[in-house]
Structure 1
Amino acid sequence: QNFEGDISGKVLDEQSKKPMPYANISVFRMKDSTLAGGGITDEKGFFKIDKLKPGFYKIKIDFIGYDRYITTAKVNPQTPSVNIGAILLKPAVTQLGEVEVKSDKPMVEFKLDKKVINVDKNIVTSGGNATDILRNTPSVQVDMDGNVSLRGSTNVNILVDGKPSTLSAGDKAAILEQIPASTIERIEIITNPSAKYDPEGMAGILNIVTKQEKRQGINGLVTLNYGTMKKFGGTLSINRRVNKTNLFFSYDYRNDDRNGYRNHDRYFYFNDTLLSHTIITSTRTNQNYSHNIKGGFDYNFNPLNSLNFTATYRIGERNGNDYSINKVLSSANTTAQYYERDEKSTNPSNNIDLSLGYKKKFEEPMREFTSDLYFSRGIFNNNENYSQYNFIPIYTSPAQKSTSDNTFTNLTFQSDYVHPISEKTRLDAGIKAMMRTSDENYFFYKFDTLATDFKKDTNLSNHFIYSDYVYAAYTTLSQEWKKFSIQIGLRAEETVQDGNQKTTGYTFKRDYFSLFPSTHISYSLPHDNKLQISYSRRINRPDPHSINPFIDKSDPLTWHMGNPDLKPEYINSYEFGHIKDWKKLSLTSQIFYKTTDNVVSRFRKTDTTGIVTVYPINM
């Protein structure tokens, strides 16, 4: 009953016959496919898997860039030590004379819980930015201001390399324009994320995965590009990988000018009676530039333990001019008001992202532990000057200007563990703590003709500080069969929110606990057809602007304010999809359905003078 045997062997390259160190060895029981043991080869290519009970075993040998090798062995008291001899691994490359044929990644890959768009060979990557890549990504839309939406909803969570950054709170459009397209390897579209991911974002998650240089030695790349509308830039990247250490550095510059226009009609009704009709026509010019610097290192202590550090610094500016013609018609369709408004803006920004990660692999294949610490800080300033020229009726509007000093910080700790129960069964678990702070200080000035200088308008200026702390734990269980696979998960989160409207002295605090289950099911049909069904529960927490109780009266016709009593929205998301693959073509179709609790809606209240006050409420 205490018998223990072992299986040993040696792994060699089929062509050079040289030993292959660090190849992965997996040993599975034949009767139930459970993982019995595993390990890696030593410097001379030898391996030995011990503490095996009597029985039949399947041995899998894997190495990156080589075809998998599978064999079987029997361990019993008569042959307790089984040597399967020299194993020759074949490179995953076929050579025909002088031609080397490799399998390229497909443009689109379908996983159980996400869709992967490989953009490495997209022509846009030669000179664009992340916004340009997203414009060419299926299911993703980007408007003229750079606002990103997924399936028609702007409530999407954007990650970089699976990590939070200033994209989670700052000016997303400005930051995306500062990420060079040439550094992006793929876009992961996760419309119904599992419990492993943060549940924020009603529409789902867009994960921007950047490239990692894996070649040995020193590698570099220099690119220059020029396009229409004064769109130009350049990239310099250097990578040095020697033995256990990899050092990398990159610099990117972008300049992009954009022009546009918009037309807007607004009707005011009171008790179903039309009071006025406002017609707004505007033209806009924008000049954007950015510098992007990234550096860091990867260090492998040994084949099972590694450390990585990355620092990214971005600085940029968006300058714009918006000229609008405003015409207000009365209920009798006569011109009651006519004025032109000129708005000039300067929006400098700088942000930094720091990431420190540790990865621990085990001798058992697919088993690993990771621990990561992220810090991001973004400073976004907005300086605007307003001039209004009134023609009907004729009067003088004082010149106006505003300044916004906004700082966002995010500190996140995350730890994840993956445990393969068997060849087809896997357990994931993890914890996460995220601390975010938003400090928004807004100043509004009006020109005083008597003092011949701008004076601060205390009725419009305000300072709001908001923090939220999210503590989470999750677990998922995945099981695969021949044609059927399933993943179930559960995530628990405790959220604490603090708000301080320093101008008015109003403070509030709120905390709540939430559960987020998820289920993903996939079934393979004949003739390369596949069905997918999924469910997840998500949350849409109010942003700082939505809960700031201060009334913004900068627009004379429309006032805006937040609602500190606003509750988060909870979304139940259901999806059903079909995938049909051909040799060079794939067709996907999806039906999705969402139900939302505590729906947030913009409530508009009009007074007798026609001024509209807009604020959010839960329906």
Structure 2
Amino acid sequence: MTRNLHLTLLFCLTFSLAFAQDFLINGAVIDDNQNPVVLANVILLTGEGEFIKGTVTNDQGLYEFKAVTPGTYNIVASYIANTIESSNISITENTEVKPLILKSSQELDEVVVTQKKPVLEQLADRHIFSVENTALSDGDIWDVLKRTPGVMVMNNRLYINGSPNVNVMINGKLVNLPESDIVNLLTGSSASNVEAIEVITSPPAKYSAEGGLLINIKMKKNLVAGYNGAVFNRYTQGVLPKHTLGTDHFFKGKKIDFSTNYSFSHNRNWTRYTDITTYLENGQENEIWTAEQKIIDKKKSHNINLFLDVQLNEKNTLSITSTSNLSPNGNTDYFSITDINTIDGDLTARLDGLNVQNDDSYNTSNYLDWVYKLNDKGAELTTNAHFTYYDSKQSQVLNNNITQGFTENTSENTLNIGSDQIINLFSAQTDLTLPLTEQSVMETGLRVATINSEASIMQSGFDDSVDGISPTESGLFDYDEQIYAGYVSLNNNWESWKLNVGLRAEYTDTEGNLDMSASLNTTSYFKLFPNMALSYKKEKNAFYLKYYRRITRPRYSSINPFQFYLTANSLYEGNPNLKPAYSDYLQFDYVYDRDYKVVLFVNRKSNEQAQQIIQDNQTNILRTQYINLESNYFYGIDVSVSKELTSYWYLYALVSHYHDKKTFKDLNTNTIVENSIWTTFIRANNYFTLLKDESLFADVTYTYFSPYISGNATSESFSKLGLSFRKTFWNKDASISLGIEDIFNNGNTFSTRNYLDQQNTVSSRVENRLFVLGFRYKFGNTKIRDNSKKKNTDEGKRL
């Protein structure tokens, strides 16, 4: 059966079923002296202002657009600071447009083919958040994600619909990096290059079933020919300073579209924890360990992104994308003082710890895409090859001293650790897009991916005579994974209805080999992943129904079986026996008048992977490890409004109320434990456009979280208020931004673990209150570079 399925999909990828009739549009661009205008930018738009394609005039001032389907269009021509737009043109045959006349005497400050883009646009399977013309565009991409509707960031983790299983894409290309490295990449990348953030709440079958929901960061591209660039500088002051500077460059020719951006970040982060654990003996409270920890992290990071599109001819396009990050000579210092007291409060011992960690990391993700247009009705064949290389080296020296008293569960010692993890990922995918009718489009494709992760460790110096302390002196863990997938989807678009349905099949084969073990850890499984997005619109009412099934495979760092120590009684260890997790999600939306929205949702998960902190009462050690939860149910309601209240004030407000229930097995007693809570999340984003020339932008963001749960921990409520400004000047070629995050410093968290034999509290204090100063200057032919498609677009068309 599997063989027949593969043959059927390959057959679909080879042949096209339909071809469309198309026409030629040509014309000329001249000045008011009837002279041809050479290298004028010419853009073909639909009657509604949607961009179709662009070109430039030749040395006779002539241009042409080939393979244009019947319809209504208009044409915009621009040169230097002048522009002209044609009236609507109905195309039913080859058409020669009357000359477009650019008046040489007209001096404009900038091209007026501008479109005031909607801040939030709702589609059947996603919503799109435009960040242009907001104060956010001078920040970094990570800060933009913090303020994107539908996205939450807690403890440097992304959440959508309450789920932390979120994958990040750039221009539709998956960023295959660990979470911490994704944060480093996005904090070092300027948001000024971002056109929009797509939050894909019902991933189509085209995308891998891996992970949860998707965030697609759409980068800007030139729509017209020429070169432009920019330099930017961003300074952030918290407890410690942070600094990012970089440069962007864009070039578009007749056949080539190229952009690159480079940034250098020097970040210094400060974090404090107060960890209080009550250890038990024979079921009775015995000792209270209070650990005061301070972490200072210093890291320099180089980020470079490359995007190249080459139009070989009318039917063939080649694209190369590369995203790389180099973080050499990173340093993290963990300072800890742990007091050990009796239940009556008497001090029996004090431990003084210093953990110095140095790390070097490098990762690069590279993509090669080839797109072949089978016809001009939308049929195309796409082939993609991808390779990611990731290398993370760490060295660690942990010193532990008993400065007062004595405890039998620890000793004075020094631990030296050296580790290295190398990951290679390769994938190839072929997709066929095939219009079946004017209303229906079929997509199908095949994908193969192979992953190898090799982790090694060298440890020495620890006194292993203490119970519970048994670090591996040396070890090598090799993990291989192969994934074979095929999918088919059907997208239907009728007058009032839209229906997207798809089915994806994936076969996975894994093998884990620890050199100290005589046996291999192997698994193989075949799974189906359906998805559906249905929408119906009538007058001011819109209804959406979405369903999908997803898988989350174990992260490569979480299956690494070695122990890593933070303090003498606190360690992290991987779990090579982690199982893949599955999620079934159902959502119903009602939208009134495009601005008011109510959402009902339910999510059922099995084997969800969660990081747990567990106290070992026998050895007085805190162990942090990923485990599989027994079950997780998540359901609730969202009520939101996204509306332009005045000509200068746009509001997005959300109230989410949901119930989260997690059950897990306690590792000490094998008892099934339930952790559940009702949580309320409130968010209000206000975007202001001020001054007569619309050169001043302000954003005010408020976030509130009532108590919530994460694995076996329950966290108390917190809130944040942020304010930012952006002012443009020098004909909008330059901008300066100011901002304050978490103005009242209420964003710190306090969590508890109190069940069975677990009694622990953690107070986290990170650099939430930040002062941000940014500057950006654009150069080149910036006055004709806007990603704009039509002037005087009605803001009332926002979905």
Unpaired runs of 5+ residues, structure 2, are: 1-19, 47-61, 77-84, 464-469, 631-799
Q: Is the 8 A contact 2:157 2:179 kept in 1?
A: no
Aligned-residue sequence identity (percent) comes to 23
Cα distance in 1 between the residues matched to 2:573 and 2:306: 41
Could you tell me which of 155, 160, 171 is aligned with 1:150? 160
Shift of 1:16: 6.6
Shift of 1:398: 1.7
Alignment coverage as a number of residue pairs: 564
Bigger mean CA deviation after superposition, 309-318 or 330-339: 330-339
Task: Please give the secondary structure, in 2, of the residue aligned with 1:132.
Answer: helix
Is the aligned partner of 1:237 residue 2:248? yes
The C-alpha deviation readout for 1:463-483, integer Å capped at 9, x for no partner, is 212121111111111112222
Cα distance in 2 between the residues matched to 1:389 and 1:153: 41
Bigger mean CA deviation after superposition, 267-276 or 282-291: 267-276
Q: Is the 8 A contact 2:353 2:568 kept in 1?
A: no
Cα distance in 2 between the residues matched to 1:8 and 1:557: 72
Q: Is the 8 A contact 1:460 1:552 kept in 2?
A: no
Could you tell me which of 131, 134, 149 is aligned with 1:119? 131
Q: Which residue of 2 aligns with 1:326?
A: 338
Is the aligned partner of 1:179 residue 2:193? no
Q: Which residue of 2 aligns with 1:164?
A: 174
Cα distance in 2 between the residues matched to 1:63 and 1:411: 43
Q: Which residue of 1 aligns with 2:544?
A: 532
Cα distance in 1 between the residues matched to 2:283 and 2:533: 48
Q: Is the 8 A contact 2:73 2:89 kept in 1?
A: no
Could you tell me which of 319, 322, 339 is aligned with 1:308? 319
Q: Partner letter of residue 445 of structure 1?
A: S
Q: Is the 8 A contact 2:263 2:303 kept in 1?
A: yes
Q: Which residue of 1 aligns with 2:25?
A: 11
Q: Which residue of 2 aligns with 1:356?
A: 368
Q: Partner letter of residue 223 of structure 1?
A: F
Cα 1:176–1:167 shift into 2, 3 Å: farther
Cα 1:378–1:546 shift into 2, 3 Å: closer
Shift of 1:520: 0.7
Cα distance in 2 between the residues matched to 1:382 and 1:517: 41
Q: Partner letter of residue 231 of structure 1?
A: K
Q: Which residue of 2 aligns with 1:29?
A: none
Q: Partner letter of residue 263 of structure 1?
A: T
Q: Which residue of 2 aligns with 1:496?
A: 509
Shift of 1:517: 0.5
Q: Is the 8 A contact 1:159 1:167 kept in 2?
A: no
Q: Which residue of 2 aligns with 1:368?
A: 380
Task: Please give the secondary structure, in 2, of the residue aligned with 1:194.
Answer: coil
Task: Please give the secondary structure, in 2, of the residue aligned with 1:167.
Answer: coil
Q: Which residue of 1 aligns with 2:583?
A: 571
Cα root mean square deviation, aligned: 3.9
Cα distance in 1 between the residues matched to 2:471 and 2:616: 24
Is the aligned partner of 1:380 residue 2:389? no
Cα 1:383–1:503 shift into 2, 3 Å: same
Cα 1:121–1:607 shift into 2, 3 Å: same
Shift of 1:405: 1.1
Q: Is the 8 A contact 1:163 1:374 kept in 2?
A: no
The C-alpha deviation readout for 1:131-163, integer Å capped at 9, x for no partner, is 22222223333345x333334443222222222
Cα 1:596–1:270 shift into 2, 3 Å: farther
Could you tell me which of 486, 491, 497 is aligned with 1:473? 486
Q: Partner letter of residue 420 of structure 2?
A: D
Cα 1:517–1:7 shift into 2, 3 Å: closer
Q: Which residue of 1 aligns with 2:441?
A: 426
Q: Which residue of 1 aligns with 2:751?
A: none
Shift of 1:371: 0.8
Cα 1:237–1:280 shift into 2, 3 Å: same
The C-alpha deviation readout for 1:275-317, integer Å capped at 9, x for no partner, is 4443332222222321123345322111211112233332124
Q: Is the 8 A contact 2:184 2:301 kept in 1?
A: no
Q: Partner letter of residue 384 of structure 2?
A: D
Shift of 1:516: 0.2
Cα 1:373–1:303 shift into 2, 3 Å: same
Q: Which residue of 2 aligns with 1:464?
A: 477
Is the aligned partner of 1:59 residue 2:74? no
Q: Is the 8 A contact 1:166 1:409 kept in 2?
A: no
The C-alpha deviation readout for 1:383-424, integer Å capped at 9, x for no partner, is 222222323424861222322211121111111111112222
Q: Which residue of 2 aligns with 1:258?
A: 269
Cα 1:136–1:335 shift into 2, 3 Å: same
Cα distance in 1 between the residues matched to 2:310 and 2:271: 48
The C-alpha deviation readout for 1:167-209, integer Å capped at 9, x for no partner, is 258733333334333333322212331222212224x122223
Could you tell me which of 533, 536, 539 is aligned with 1:523? 536
Shift of 1:497: 0.6
Q: Is the 8 A contact 1:460 1:553 kept in 2?
A: no
Cα 1:236–1:603 shift into 2, 3 Å: closer
Q: Which residue of 2 aligns with 1:486?
A: 499
Shift of 1:571: 1.0
Cα distance in 2 between the residues matched to 1:84 and 1:214: 24
Cα 1:606–1:9 shift into 2, 3 Å: closer
Cα distance in 2 between the residues matched to 1:430 and 1:388: 56
Shift of 1:599: 4.4
Q: Which residue of 2 aligns with 1:397?
A: 412
Could you tell me which of 554, 557, 575 is aligned with 1:542? 554
Q: Partner letter of residue 379 of structure 2?
A: R
Cα 1:177–1:329 shift into 2, 3 Å: same
Q: Is the 8 A contact 2:401 2:413 kept in 1?
A: no
Higher relative contact order (CA 8 A, sep 6+): 2
Q: Which residue of 2 aligns with 1:595?
A: 604
Cα distance in 1 between the residues matched to 2:218 and 2:123: 16
Q: Which residue of 2 aligns with 1:274?
A: 285
Q: Which residue of 2 aligns with 1:188?
A: 198
Q: Which residue of 2 aligns with 1:444?
A: 459
Q: Partner letter of residue 415 of structure 1?
A: T
Cα distance in 2 between the residues matched to 1:22 and 1:291: 36
Shift of 1:89: 12
Q: Partner letter of residue 524 of structure 2?
A: D
Q: Which residue of 1 aligns with 2:229?
A: 220
Bigger mean CA deviation after superposition, 329-338 or 529-538: 329-338
Q: Is the 8 A contact 1:157 1:168 kept in 2?
A: no
Task: Please give the secondary structure, in 2, of the residue aligned with 1:134.
Answer: helix
Shift of 1:494: 0.5
Is the aligned partner of 1:414 residue 2:429? yes
Could you tell me which of 505, 510, 528 is aligned with 2:523? 510
Could you tell me which of 215, 236, 241 is aligned with 1:206? 215
Q: Which residue of 1 aligns with 2:677?
A: none
Could you tell me which of 298, 318, 327 is aligned with 1:287? 298
Q: Partner letter of residue 186 of structure 1?
A: A
Task: Please give the secondary structure, in 2, of the residue aligned with 1:174.
Answer: helix
Cα distance in 2 between the residues matched to 1:20 and 1:225: 33
Task: Please give the secondary structure, in 2, of the residue aligned with 1:544.
Answer: coil
Q: Which residue of 1 aligns with 2:148?
A: 137
Bigger mean CA deviation after superposition, 599-608 or 507-516: 599-608
Shift of 1:373: 0.7
Q: Partner letter of residue 536 of structure 2?
A: Y
The C-alpha deviation readout for 1:52-99, integer Å capped at 9, x for no partner, is xxxxxx9325578689968698xxxxxxxxx686577999xxxx9968
Q: Partner letter of residue 278 of structure 1?
A: W
Q: Partner letter of residue 493 of structure 2?
A: E
Task: Please give the secondary structure, in 2, of the residue aligned with 1:352.
Answer: strand
The TM-score normalised by the length of structure 1 is 0.79
Q: Is the 8 A contact 2:24 2:67 kept in 1?
A: no
Q: Partner letter of residue 196 of structure 1?
A: K
Unpaired runs of 5+ residues, structure 1, are: 1-5, 26-42, 50-57, 74-82, 449-456
Cα 1:213–1:277 shift into 2, 3 Å: farther
The C-alpha deviation readout for 1:500-551, integer Å capped at 9, x for no partner, is 1124444222111000001111122432x32211110111212234444556
